Structure 1
Amino acid sequence: MKRHAAREKAFQILFQIDLNELDPTQALAEHNETGDTDSFLERLVKGVVEQKDTIDDSISNHLENWTIKRIASVEKTILRIATYEITYLEDIPTNVSINEAVELANKYGDDKSGKFVNGVLSKIIA
């Protein structure tokens, strides 16, 4: 699985985990149609779940006139993935993480999601 597809699948899984409070291993298994495991996908899902509090603190510290509780689940999940990549995955260039996040926000969010995600992530890396 290519990393772009893995990010999209991670978004879907993490969105479900957040809404339904699923176990990450169970959620990964339920979304695995092919039976193949993808190490990048697993690393994203498990890493975001394990570091969720730290990631949410980082996001919260870079919001202006917002709280993390006010952010829609789509944008929150995308921000968590990108923040995890930026903070913990040194082999991925920051601009790639941001671009992928903006693409996901444009695909799954509303017409302002991409700009919002880009703005928050730009503050995180500054």
Structure 2
Amino acid sequence: MNRHEAREKAFQILFQLDINDNEPEQAIEEFLEKEERDEFLITLVKGVTKSIPEVDKIIADNLENWTLQRIASVEKSILRISTYEIRFLEEVPINVSINEAVELGNMYGDDKSGKFINGVLSKIIA
């Protein structure tokens, strides 16, 4: 599994966790079933879930005319992944994290999701 696929699966797991109150390890096991466990995916899911208060504060501090509660679960989950990567995973280039987040937003969100995600992440790195 490459990092793009790992991010996409991590997004799907974190989206489920945002809606359902499961444990991260259980969600990973149920989602992957018989697929091979990927260390980057596990790092993202466990890291984001462990850091949600800090990550959410970073996101909330960089929103204009929005609150974190108003953001749809799709965009919130994507922003959490990218914000976690930017702040805690030095080996991931910032531009890669942002590009991947925008791409996920365009795939899973509505027609304005990618632009919204890009705007928030641009403020975070400024």
TM-score normalized with structure 2 length: 0.98
Q: Determine whether 1:58 maps to 2:58.
A: yes
**Structure 2 gap segments, 5+ residues each:** none
Deviation readout 1:83-108 (Å, 9 max, x if unpaired): 00000000000000000000000000
Matched, 1:72 2:76: no
Which 4+ residue blocks in structure 1 deviate beyond 6 angstroms? none
Structure 1: distance between partners of 2:72 and 2:86: 21
Q: How does 1:1-126 map to 2 (within 5 A)?
A: 1-126=1-126
Structure 2 SS opposite 1:100: helix
Structure 1 residue 35, shift from structure 2 partner: 4.0
Q: Normalising to structure 1: TM-score of the pair?
A: 0.98
- Measured against aligned partners, the alpha-carbon deviations of 1:60-81 in whole angstroms (never above 9, x if no partner) come to 0000011000001100000000
Residue deviations 1:20-65 (CA, integer Å, cap 9, x gap): 0110000000011334211000000000000000000000000001
SS of structure 1 residue aligned to 2:32: coil
Number of residues of Structure 1 aligned to a counterpart in Structure 2: 126
CA distance in 2, matches of 1:6, 1:51: 19
- Counterpart-to-counterpart distance in 1, 2:35 and 2:120: 36
* Uncovered stretches (5+) of structure 1, i.e. residues with no partner: none
Over the residues paired in the alignment, what is the CA RMSD in angstroms?
0.7
